[in-house]
Amino acid sequence: MKHTLALIISLALLTGSAYTADKKTKDTAAAEAKATSPKGAKVYIIFPKDGKSVKKKFTIKFGLKGMGIAPAGIKFPNTGHHHLIIDGAKFDMNLPLLASEQIKHFGGGQTEAAIELPPGKHTLQLVFGDHLHRPHNPPVLSKAISITVEE
């Protein structure tokens, strides 16, 4: 089972998984029920910590409990990929998350990422998404943390 998932993941990584909200994804998302999340599933931001200051360029680390990582496009029970919501960007719980400067997809299955933000206060929140970039049912969200990006 573990090997099968690893194989699927490496195949997906080879074929690349740049996310575009193409028509096929939207049609599939409309026709297919959202993936479910198990009880107790949790995402959280390991680094930075709430209330701390960081440099302009820093590496954010994503934590996950009770579920597994799979790249975007790979349908496998109790898995998904991370999305980072910056400064409280709005999104619809029932639709594929858009991709923007404030909603970042980590569809390659990344568990950390180098990001750069302008100096000042920012909020960061994680939303776990299914193979079609939709929050699970029930949704798995982290607490929104506040950080200060140094000049």
Q: Which stretch binds Cu ion (CB under 5 A): 27-35, 111-119, 120-128, 129-137?
A: 129-137
> Where would I find the beta strands (DSSP E) of 12-143?
42-47, 53-54, 57-65, 68-69, 79-86, 103-105, 112-116, 120-129
The CB-of-40 to Cu ion minimum distance in angstroms stands at 22
Q: How far apart are CA 45 and CA 27, in angstroms?
A: 32
Question: In terms of CB distance, is 89 or 148 closer to Cu ion?
Answer: 89
DSSP 132: T
CA atoms within 13 A on the CB side of 1: 3
91 close to 103: Cβ distance less than 8 angstroms: yes
Q: Which stretch binds Cu ion (CB under 5 A): 4-12, 35-43, 53-61, 124-132?
A: 124-132
Identify the residue among 80, 109, 129, 135 touching Cu ion (CB under 5 A): 129
Segment 63 to 122, residues that bind Cu ion, using CB under 5 A = 105, 107
Q: Does 135 bind Cu ion (CB under 5 A)?
A: no
Question: In terms of CB distance, is 107 or 149 closer to Cu ion?
Answer: 107
Question: In terms of CB distance, is 34 or 133 closer to Cu ion?
Answer: 133
Question: In terms of CB distance, is 48 or 71 closer to Cu ion?
Answer: 71
Q: What are phi and psi of 64, to 5 degrees?
A: -145, 135
Size of the residue set binding Cu ion (CB under 5 A): 4
Q: How far apart are CA 72 and CA 1, in angstroms?
A: 19
Identify the residue among 104, 131, 133, 136 touching Cu ion (CB under 5 A): 133
Paired sense of beta strands 120-129 and 57-65, if any = unpaired
Binding site for Cu ion (CB under 5 A): 105, 107, 129, 133
